[in-house]
Amino acid sequence: MSNAPIAPRNPFADIAPALADYTDRVLFGDVWKRAGLSPRDRSLITVASLISLYRINEIPFHLKRALENGVTRGELRNGSILLKNSVCGSSQKFKRL
């Protein structure tokens, strides 16, 4: 039995192989690695966007990736609470008025 790490398999590769390939090759390959933003900054932006859009299915994966990219737990905690309660929450509160 080998101890070599196995690359995570795209969860929808069986039913949508072209979409899985595009996601792996283009989004997490070309786009994610472009110059201009560090992986850490991209992770912060991604997590903030997912929180603001309430994309709860994608958040756990990207929180883990953010930690791997150098974002601290404190930054995630403080940023997500601030974003959720002030920025994202405010627009919803004003809609109810």
For the chain, which residues score pLDDT lower than 50?
1-2, 4-6
Q: What is the pLDDT of residue 24?
A: 80
| Structure-derived torsion over alpha carbons of residues 18, 23, 29, 33, reported in degrees to the nearest 10 | 150
Residue 24 covered by a domain: no
Residue 55 covered by a domain: yes
CB 88 within 8 A of CB 51: yes
Q: What is the pLDDT of residue 68?
A: 93
- Counting the structural domains of the chain, the total is 1
pTM of the model: 0.67
Report which DSSP code applies to 5.
-
> What's the domain range around 77?
40-96
Q: Report helix, strand or coil for 87.
A: helix
